[in-house]
Copies of this chain bind each other. A is one copy, B any other.
Amino acid sequence: MTDILREVGMIARALDSISNIEFKELDLTKGQYLYLVRICENPGIIQEKLAEMIKVDRTTAARAIQKLEISGFVEKKDDEKNKKIKRLFSTEKGKQAYPFLKREGDYSNSVALAGLSEEESETLFHLLHRVRKNIEIEWEFVKKGNKRDY
């Protein structure tokens, strides 16, 4: 049953590749769409949480967001109470890009689920959700430098 993880990997890489190709049209470089959609949907989120949400290294997120700021899709705002954090918001340009990102995602989704019934899609979602919950604990464990035994 190790093949479950391989299927997940194949699907994820293929989808990511498709998105990266398609979003060049918006002048988004590799991976940037991941951050932009989530900032649009979670205004005020901080970079650290965004990295955790996406499951990507903190420093990778930091640089992707820097680029998005430079290219004007996103802006960072200082928090009033906490001098350390910077809250992220989509700019007008970012908001304009969002519908396209959403539409592409919805389309890929419909293609991915073609031939599955409504109920099967539901089942898949719930099972994946549980798997994700399991794996994110593991990810945080290993990311923090802990060693797994097997």
Binding site for B on A (CB under 8 A): 1-5, 7-18, 21-22, 34, 53-57, 102-109, 111-116, 120-121, 123-125, 127-132, 134-136, 138-139, 142-143, 148, 150
Contact = CB atoms under 8 A, between A and B. Distances in A.
B150 A103 contact: yes
Nearest to A17: B139
12 contacts: A1-B109, A5-B109, A8-B128, A14-B138, A17-B56, A17-B57, A17-B142, A21-B142, A106-B150, A107-B148, A111-B138, A116-B127
A19 to B, nearest CB: 9
Interface residue SS majority, chain A: helix
Contacts of A17: 55-57, 139, 142-143
A37 to B, nearest CB: 9
B8 A8 contact: yes
A11 to B, nearest CB: 5
5 nearest A-B residue pairs (beta carbon)? A12-B12, A107-B150, A14-B139, A13-B55, A7-B128
A133 to B, nearest CB: 9
